[in-house]
Amino acid sequence: MTCLVGALAAFSWSHVKATRALYRLQHTNRVKLETRTLLTGLVDAETGVRGYTLTGQADFLDPYTSAVPLISESFDRLNRLVMDDPVQQQRLQRIQMLVETTLTSLQSNLDSTDVASSSAVSAETRLQLLRAKAVMDQARSEIAVFLAEEEQLQLDRSQALQQRWTATWLLITALAITGVASSFLTIRLLRQLGKQLKENQAHLLKAQEIGNMGSWERDLETNTLRWSAQLNRIFGRPEALVQTYADFLAAVHPNDRDWVDKTIAAAIAGTVEHDLVYRIVLTDGSVRWVHEKAEVVGDAAGQPRCLVGTTQDVTERKQTEAALQQLNSELEDRVSQRTAQLQQLLEFEAALKRITDKVRDSLDEQQILQAAVQELACTLGAKSTTAALYDLEQQTATICYEYTTLAWAQQGEQFQIGCDPELYQPLLQGHCFQFCLLNPAPIQEPIATLACPMLDDQGILGDLQIIAHAHHIFSEQNIRLVQQIANQCAIAIRQARLYQAAQKQVIALESLHQMKDEFLNTVSHELRSPITNIKMALQVLTTAVHQLSPHPDNPASIEACARVDRYLTILGHESDREIHLINDLLDLQRLDAEMQPPTVELIDLNQWMPPLLLSFQERAKVRRQQIQAEWESPLPNIVSDPDSLKRILTELLNNACKYTPPDERIVVAIQVQSPVVQIQVTNFGTAIAASEFSRIFDKFYRIPKTDHWKQGGTGLGLALIKKLVEHLGGSIAITSQANWVTFTVEIPQKWTPLPC
């Protein structure tokens, strides 16, 4: 009875261990299934982004959008499943980091992808694709190691489960032997244990079905096999068809049969491990992959007696690997094609930039077109390149520039546009096209030609023609390059012609400027000299008249002398006005011509301003006007032209005195508003309409009916003031209300020459 109780306890403990082994086997299978789900999601994400980037088709984004949340969920489930395995947990963390890096790179690639220009993948986008692929390959490698570890665990646990069931059978046998000598109660217990053992066997079969694997045993003496039911299903053969080792080899794929047989023999001999993957052929002709592991069991003498092992169907994994390899191969092919297209595009852009730079670097029409034809010929490998210019009035096209490797040259030849409408009509309409000449003179052999108009928004200027061998077909990129260069040539030619016209105008203006200077010098001499002579003659005549004394008894002589004196005074006054007018005109012309810069010096306004105002006090007093100065002392020193500044203030004060009625004020105010000094001259008792502001500084313009003292004037004063102020780098403005007018002058505290 004691033996029976011990056997029952051992059986119970063995049953517990077998149940745990079954649970671990099911747990491992869930890890494998979840890992394959993760791998599928990664493939969908990567291929979706790559396909979208390379083709621009939005359909590729659907698997990517669906895969991203599934990947996150798979990681959550896997982290929970491997919590009891620190090694696998650490490996899963590395995989998760790699996958997150990959997804970030893929999203960055999507963000930088422009669908509208997807035909030209940028170098940066291509680099991102390559980086994402490198990280993805590393992640796949880690996943493969992770999956291999789980498969090894599954195999080990399956074998452990098999051993547990074997141990349980041995215990049942021991219990049965013990039960022969036991009581009726023991027999009942054995029946219950047998029932439980059958249930455990059913669990084992279920576990093998879940793991898609089966167990087997081979007797090395008889070469007979004993398979589990699951293994029969894997091989697709009824149990009766596989009874010997020869039957097993017959099921192995012919291409794998020989090395499988040799590997198993070597494993029995102990030289290699019994761990191999091979193909089998089912009765319906289909091929499947299996993974087989086994151990040799020896007899008491240590000689091999049998092989015990497991075989797992890994067809799905192999198909996934093959699909991944095929997908990677296709993607690599597409990337290679896209890379080649990108390289061509980069070469196109480089050639376009190189030729465009050479065309833009010159304003010489000859250099522009010669550089264009030479660079196009070298870039496209053409036999000849020509540039023709059109004369639409004469209806002619003249080949002005050529770069050729042919024995015949066309440069200088002229063609009538109307004589070849098939060529020139499309060009005149702005079309670029290619054609083949079968027997052009003088080479008498077919040639392919690409003709492109040099056209801008103002019209056609000419054409570029690229000549190649007869079988050459100009690609879309070739045509686009020639079109771009033709457009750049048209712009450059137009600019060169404008430049040449501008140069001619500059020469003409320089000539006019020189003539103007000569005219001013002549006017200065020819006008001033006679007036000076007249002035001198008047002075002499006045002196002579004053020396003549009228006869006191002759009233007529007294009256005549008075009349002569009055006439001489008028002549003197008018000659002064004439000299003043001539000086103003010459000063204006000199300022317009900007013949010389101001002569600047340091001016102490505190010492300089009072004498200037004092010179007007006497005239203002005679006219019952008041001149007031308003500024805070001390005033700053300024660097300017004192003669010009004095002329400005003198003219403004003259005008103020001229247009201010009696008993009114004239105020001169100075304010420092660094870096300028503001001088205001305000006269009261008069006003100027705002409509006159725009014309008041024009030459010879005078405001009617504002001269209270009937002094007259030339209308050049304010025009000259404005020129002088601008000459000093300042500005002048006018403001007026109902009873006052203010002229505001602003000049820099320190005059500096304007930049050229």
Are 212-313 and 597-748 in the same CATH fold?
no
Please tell me the distance from the alpha carbon of residue 294 to that of residue 215, in angstroms, as a whole number. 9
The pLDDT of residue 555 is above 90: no
Strands (E), 405-446: 414-416, 433-437
Tell me what pLDDT residue 184 has. Answer: 46
The pLDDT of residue 676 is above 80: yes
Of the pLDDT bands very low, low, confident and very high (cuts 50, 70, 90), residue 290 is very high
CATH 2.40.420 fits 2-184, yes or no: no
pLDDT tens readout for residues 257-270: 999 999 999 999 88
Tell me what pLDDT residue 452 has. Answer: 94
The stretch 589-615 carries a mean pLDDT of 84
Give the closest residue to 312 by CA, choosing from 245, 215, 229.
215
H helices present in 548-641, as ranges: 555-593, 605-622
The pLDDT of residue 281 is above 90: yes
pLDDT tens readout for residues 94-146: 888 888 888 888 888 777 765 444 444 566 666 666 677 777 777 777 777 77
Longest dimension (CA), the chain: 197
Contact 653, 616 (CB under 8 A): yes
CATH class of 597-748: alpha beta
Please tell me the distance from the alpha carbon of residue 691 to that of residue 668, in angstroms, as a whole number. 25
Cα–Cα separations (whole angstroms), residue 409 to 289, 291, 412, 462, 468: 71, 76, 9, 18, 14
The pLDDT of residue 467 is above 70: yes
Contact 589, 521 (CB under 8 A): no
Query: Residues of 240-276 as b/e, b for ≥16 C-beta within 10 angstroms?
Result: eebeebebbeebbeeebbeebeebbeebbeeeeebeb
Higher pLDDT, 619 or 563: 619
Contact 664, 739 (CB under 8 A): no
Q: Which residues pair with 290 in a beta bridge?
A: 278, 313
Spell out the domain ranges in the chain: 2-184, 212-313, 597-748
Cα–Cα separations (whole angstroms), residue 122 to 18, 130, 342, 382: 60, 13, 7, 28
Mean residue pLDDT across the chain: 79
Of the pLDDT bands very low, low, confident and very high (cuts 50, 70, 90), residue 92 is confident
The pLDDT of residue 444 is above 50: yes
Please tell me the distance from the alpha carbon of residue 464 to that of residue 390, in angstroms, as a whole number. 11
Give the closest residue to 371 by CA, choosing from 418, 403, 337.
403
Q: Name the 3-class secondary structure at 303.
A: coil
Residue 642: partners with Cβ closer than 8 Å, 6 or more residues away: 601, 603, 608
Tell me what pLDDT residue 206 has. Answer: 56
Contact 638, 750 (CB under 8 A): yes
The pLDDT of residue 705 is above 90: no
The pLDDT of residue 68 is above 80: yes
Of the pLDDT bands very low, low, confident and very high (cuts 50, 70, 90), residue 677 is very high
pLDDT tens readout for residues 496-553: 888 888 889 989 888 887 787 677 667 666 666 777 777 787 777 777 777 666 666 6
Tell me what pLDDT residue 171 has. Answer: 56
Percent of the chain with pLDDT over 90: 16
CATH class of 212-313: alpha beta
H or E stretch at 278: strand 275-281
Q: Which long-range contacts (CB under 8 A, 24 or more apart) does 586-589 make?
A: 586/520, 586/523, 586/524, 587/720, 587/723, 588/699, 588/716, 588/719, 588/720, 588/723, 589/516, 589/520
Contact 681, 656 (CB under 8 A): yes
Of the pLDDT bands very low, low, confident and very high (cuts 50, 70, 90), residue 60 is confident
